[in-house]
Structure 1
Amino acid sequence: MRRRIRTAYGSALALTLALGAAACGGGPVSTAGGGDGKELAGQTLTVAGVWSGAEQKNFQKVLDAFTEKTGAKTRFVSTGDNVSTVVGSKIEGGNAPDVVMVPQVGVLQQFAQRKWLQPLSEKTRQAVDADYAPVWKSYGSVDGTLYGLYFKAAHKSTVWYSPEAFEQAGVRPPATYAEMLTAGRTVSDSGLPAFAVAGEDGWTLTDWFENVYLSQAGPQKYDQLAQHRIKWTDPSVVEALRTLGALFSDKKLLAGGQKGALATDFPGSVEKVFGPEPEAGMVYEGDFVAGMAKDEFGKKIGEEAKFFPFPPVGKGAAPVVSGGDAAVVLKDGKNQKAAMAFLEFLATPEAAAVWAAEGGFLSPNKALDLGAYSDATLRSTAKSLIDAGDTVRFDMSDQAPAAFGGTKGAGEWKLLQDFLRDPSDPARTAAALEAAAAKAYQTANQG
C-alpha cells in the first residue's frame, strides 16, 4: 500500500492535508437501516487514510456517494505513510478520526491490542461472510473479532511491460521466473535495460521478496515467516534471497545498475517504462501500476501497457500476493453511528463500483460485477484475485510490526535496500533481518 496499494501510488506522493466534502441532499434509505435517508444529516464523518493524489480523488467519490445516500457530511484526512503515529497523536489530542483506512495487517492488530477499535456491526459481519473469501475476514480479525473491512485490495503479483520493447527484442511474456530473467537479458541486448527497480522505496523490495518466497518456499512457510514462527535465518529465506540476488547482481537486468535502482522511487520506476523517454522494458509492482501509466503517461492499458502474472519460481506455483486497505472504526471517534453506517456501505458492491469505474482499484468483494471495472485489464486482474480465493497471501511486510515491515529507513525496508546494494551474502542479510524482526516482535508483544 503502503504505503502501498497501495496505496503505493498514494504513499509515494503523500501529502498531509484535509479536505472537506460539501453535504448533499438526502437520498435513498441509509445503509444503517431504516429511517428516511436523512438520519445521518448533521453529522460529519472524518475518515483518515494514506491516500493522496488520484487515489484520494477517487476515494472522495466514494465518500460523496455515502453523503448522497445518507445525508452525512464527510472529511478526509491524509496521514501519509506513518498511519500509526498520526492516528495515535490524534487520539491523544482528543481529535480522533471516526474511521481509518489501515494499509497494514500489523497496524490493524496493533490498534486492536491498544483497545482503539470498535468491533464491526452484525450487518457488516454478515456481508463479509457472504461476499468475501474467508482469508479477508481472517486478516481483518484479531482474536476472533472482526475489526477491519477490506475495501480496497491490490494484486501484487503482476509484472508490467512495454509491448513495444518486447516486440523489438522478439520476446514473449515468460511462463517461469527463469524465463523472465532470460527474456530480460534479451530485452537488454536489444538496447533497453530490462527492469526498472524502485529501490529507493524499500517497500517495493519487500514485494519482490514476497513473490519469490511464496512461490519458492510455498504458502505454509510463507505463513510461518509472516507470523515469525520460523526465523528469517531459515534456509528457505536464504534460498529466496539467493534467487533474488541473481537478479539484483545482474547489470543487464537493472536499469542504471544497483546504484540507479537505489536512486529510483516507485513513480520513477513506472516512468522509466511508460514515460516519454523509456529507460527500461519492465517494472514489477501491483495492479496500481496501470493507474499511473494511464493517468500520468497517457498509456492505453492492454495496448501500450500490459502485464503478465509474476511467474512461478522453480517447481513452485505462481504466487498471488495481495495487499489492502481495511476500514476500521475508532472508539474515540465522535460519530460512531455514521462510522458504522459507512462501513456497512463500504461492504456493498455499490460502494466498490464507484471506485472500480475510475480505475486503480480492485475489490475483494465477490458480489461486485466484473463489468464495473473500467477496462479489460482491470477485469482480468480482479478476476485473478477473486479466483485465488484462500490461496491469496497478504503482503508479508504489512503483517509485521511496523518497526520491522513498514518504516522507511529501518527494518526490512532498509535491509533489503542494503541487499540490493550488495547481494553477495544472502546468509548475512537473513541474519540481519532476523535480528531486526526479533526486536520488533518482542517490542510489539510487550506493548
Structure 2
Amino acid sequence: MHTQVGRGGGWRRQLIAVGAVTSLALLAACSNGTSSSGGSKSSGSAAALTGDCAQYQAYAGHAGTKVTMFASILSPESDSLQTSWKQFSTCTGITISYEGSNDFESQLPVRVNGGNAPDLAVIPQPGLLAQMVKTGKVVKPPAQTVTNEDKWAPIWKTYGSVNGTFYAAPMSANMKSLVWYSPKAFSAAGYKVPTTWADLMKLSDTIAKAGKNKPWCGGLASGTATGWPATDWLEEIVLGKYGGDVYDQWVNHTVKFSDPKIIAAMNVLQGWMHNPAWVNGGFGGVSTIASTTFQDAGSPILTGKCSMLQQASFYEAQWPKGTKVGPSGDIWAFKLPAADPSVSDPVEGGGEFVAAFSDRPEVQAVQNYLSTAAWATSRIKVAPGWVSANQGVDPAVYTDPVDQLSAKYLTDPAATFRFDASDLMPAAIGSGKEWSEFTAWFSNNQSVAKTASNIDGAWPQ
C-alpha cells in the first residue's frame, strides 16, 4: 500500500500530520461561460482568460464555486499537492478545499455511506475503489477525463476500472522496489550495492556481524493503515520469487495465503525483517517495527544506527530538509533485487486514482484538469519524490534523481511490473485484515501459519 503515501496512494500516505485540512480560497475574475476541450460544461459565455491564465480557458466559467477533495496525503506532501493546482484555482476561481487524513481508508466508506461524500476522493487502492463503486455513489468520469487517460499505459485503466467499467483516472505512480541507504556509510565500510538477493542477504549478515549497527530498520505504524509497509515487503518477495502469474493468482485468491508458495515467501520475510540480529536499528527489537511510524523508520540511517530501509520512492519526502539525496549524497536508493534471479526485473508500484461523487460542472473541471499531462507536469515541478506514468509528460521535467530512477523502472517495457497486491485485493483484506494480521505478526510474534490462516478466513465470499 500506500499511504503514495498509498502506501499508499499510496503513495500511501503519507505523511506526518494527521488530518490536515486546507482550503485554497483563491478568486479570479472569471465569469460563467462555456468550456472547450479539456474542460467541462458550463452555461453562458466565459470571459476570456489572458496571460498565464489563458491555458485554463477550457475550465473557465465556474468562478466562486468550491470542490471538496479527501485523500490520505498529509503534510508535507499535501503542501506541494495544493501548490500544484494553485494557479489553476487562481485563474478559474474554483476553490479546492482539500482534507488529508491518516484514517482515510476507514473514513471514506463512513462518509460515503453516511451521505457526506467528498466531491473527489484520491483513492490509492483499487480494492477500495471497487468497494466505493458498490455503494452506487461513484460517478463515472466525464468524456474529457476518459480521453486524457489515454496518455497512460493501458494497464493503468484496468486499475481504475471495476468489472470492466472505467471510474477513476490515475493520478500518480510510485516505485515500491527500492532500498534506501547512505552512500557515504557504504563507502566508508567498503560495502558494495548488492545486485542479487543472495548478495543482499550476505551484506545484511556482514553488517550485523560487524556489530556497529543493525543492517535494517523499519516501521509499520500509520494510523488506521498501520501494517501496510509489511505487506509491501511480502509483495516484493512474492513477485521477485515467483513472477507475475503467481502474483496475479494470489491477488484474486486462486493462490491463497496458506498456499505453500506464499508460506515460503512469508518465511523469507520472517528470516529477513524478523531477524533480531538484523533489525530494528535505532529503535529496539523486532516488535518495535510495529510501533515505529513508517515516516520515522529511516531516520537511523542518517545517524548510523541502521544501514538500509526498504521503502517506496515517495519516502524521499521524509528525509529532513537539507539531506542530500543522490548517488554520492547523504542518502540514495538502489533497486531491491529479485528473490529469484530467473524473474525478469520485478518492479512493484503503486498509485492513486481520482474518483468523483458528484457530477457538478466545477467538479468535472477539476477532475479533467487533474487527468492532464499539464497538471502532472506542474506537480512534478513542485514535488520531489512524485512520479507520473502519464506519457504526455516530458521526461526532462524530472530533475530529482530519485524521480528519474523511479521513472526509469516504471516505464521499462522489459520489467515484470505489478501494482501493489494489497491495493488490488478486496478492501476488507488489502486495507483491513492483512494490515492487522501483519501488525500482529510483528508486534506479538504471531506465527506465519496463523497469520496466513487468519487472512484466508476473512476473505470475502
What is the TM-score normalised by the length of structure 2? Answer: 0.86
Q: Distance in 2 between matches of 1:86 and 1:425?
A: 30
Match among 335, 344, 351 for residue 324 of structure 1: 351
Q: Distance in 1 between matches of 2:234 and 2:399?
A: 30
Q: Distance in 1 between matches of 2:338 and 2:76?
A: 32
1:379-398 equivalences under 5 Å are 379-388=404-413, 391-398=416-423
Q: Distance in 1 between matches of 2:126 and 2:168?
A: 9
Q: Distance in 2 between matches of 1:92 and 1:261?
A: 34
Quote the residue 1:183 is aligned against. 203
Quote the residue 2:51 is aligned against. none
Match among 133, 137, 145 for residue 124 of structure 1: 145
Secondary structure of the structure 2 residue equivalent to 1:258: coil
Q: How many residues align?
A: 428
Q: Deviations over 1:320-377 (max 9, x none)?
A: 11111110111xx3x6212222222112121111221221211111111122223223
Secondary structure of the structure 2 residue equivalent to 1:355: helix
1:431-442 equivalences under 5 Å are 431-436=453-458, 438=459, 441-442=460-461
Q: Distance in 1 between matches of 2:365 and 2:447?
A: 52
1:7-406 equivalences under 5 Å are 7=10, 10-25=13-28, 31-32=38-39, 35=46, 36=48, 37=57, 38-83=60-105, 85-91=106-112, 94-129=115-150, 131-190=151-210, 191-200=212-221, 201-254=226-279, 255=281, 256-274=284-302, 277-295=303-321, 298-302=323-327, 303-314=329-340, 315-330=342-357, 333=358, 336-357=360-381, 358-388=383-413, 391-406=416-431
Q: Distance in 1 between matches of 2:188 and 2:138?
A: 54
Report which stretch shifted further, 348-357 or 371-380.
Answer: 371-380
In 2 relative to 1, CA 6–253 (structure 1 residues): closer, same or farther, beyond 3 Å?
farther
Q: Distance in 2 between matches of 1:91 and 1:418?
A: 29
Shift of 1:96: 2.8
Confirm or deny: 8 A CA contact 2:344 2:416 kept in the other structure: no
Report which stretch shifted further, 103-112 or 251-260.
Answer: 251-260
Q: Deviations over 1:142-195 (max 9, x none)?
A: 122211111122111111111122123311111111211111222233412101
Q: Deviations over 1:228-251 (max 9, x none)?
A: 222221111011012111113433
Report which stretch shifted further, 311-320 or 96-105.
Answer: 311-320
Quote the residue 2:436 is aligned against. 414
Letter in 1 for 2:77: E
Confirm or deny: 8 A CA contact 2:345 2:414 kept in the other structure: no
Q: Distance in 2 between matches of 1:175 and 1:127?
A: 38
Report which stretch shifted further, 415-424 or 219-228.
Answer: 415-424
Secondary structure of the structure 2 residue equivalent to 1:77: strand
Secondary structure of the structure 2 residue equivalent to 1:413: helix
Letter in 2 for 1:346: L
Confirm or deny: 8 A CA contact 1:162 1:273 kept in the other structure: yes
Shift of 1:93: 5.1
Confirm or deny: 8 A CA contact 2:40 2:361 kept in the other structure: no
Q: Which runs of 5+ in 1 are unaligned?
A: 443-447
Letter in 1 for 2:373: P
Shift of 1:15: 2.0
Q: Deviations over 1:422-446 (max 9, x none)?
A: 779534432233123x2xx23xxxx
In 2 relative to 1, CA 175–118 (structure 1 residues): closer, same or farther, beyond 3 Å?
same
Shift of 1:90: 3.4
Shift of 1:9: 6.8
Shift of 1:281: 0.7
Letter in 2 for 1:32: G
Shift of 1:62: 2.4
Confirm or deny: 8 A CA contact 2:123 2:355 kept in the other structure: yes
Q: Deviations over 1:91-122 (max 9, x none)?
A: 45544321111111111011111111111122
Q: Which runs of 5+ in 2 are unaligned?
A: 49-56
What is the TM-score normalised by the length of structure 1? Answer: 0.88
Q: Distance in 2 between matches of 1:402 and 1:43?
A: 33
Q: Distance in 2 between matches of 1:252 and 1:18?
A: 42
Shift of 1:29: 7.1
Q: Distance in 2 between matches of 1:400 and 1:134?
A: 20
In 2 relative to 1, CA 114–124 (structure 1 residues): closer, same or farther, beyond 3 Å?
same
% identical aligned pairs: 27
Quote the residue 1:445 is aligned against. none
Q: Distance in 2 between matches of 1:43 and 1:249?
A: 52
Secondary structure of the structure 2 residue equivalent to 1:300: coil
Shift of 1:32: 0.7
Q: Distance in 1 between matches of 2:440 and 2:161?
A: 34
Q: Distance in 2 between matches of 1:394 and 1:94?
A: 31
Q: Distance in 1 between matches of 2:446 and 2:28?
A: 62
Q: Distance in 1 between matches of 2:288 and 2:115?
A: 45
In 2 relative to 1, CA 151–424 (structure 1 residues): closer, same or farther, beyond 3 Å?
closer
Report which stretch shifted further, 199-208 or 8-17.
Answer: 8-17
Shift of 1:66: 2.6
Secondary structure of the structure 1 residue equivalent to 2:356: strand
Letter in 1 for 2:254: R
Shift of 1:219: 0.6
Letter in 1 for 2:314: F
Confirm or deny: 8 A CA contact 2:344 2:414 kept in the other structure: no
Report which stretch shifted further, 158-167 or 74-83.
Answer: 74-83
Letter in 2 for 1:150: P
Letter in 1 for 2:267: R
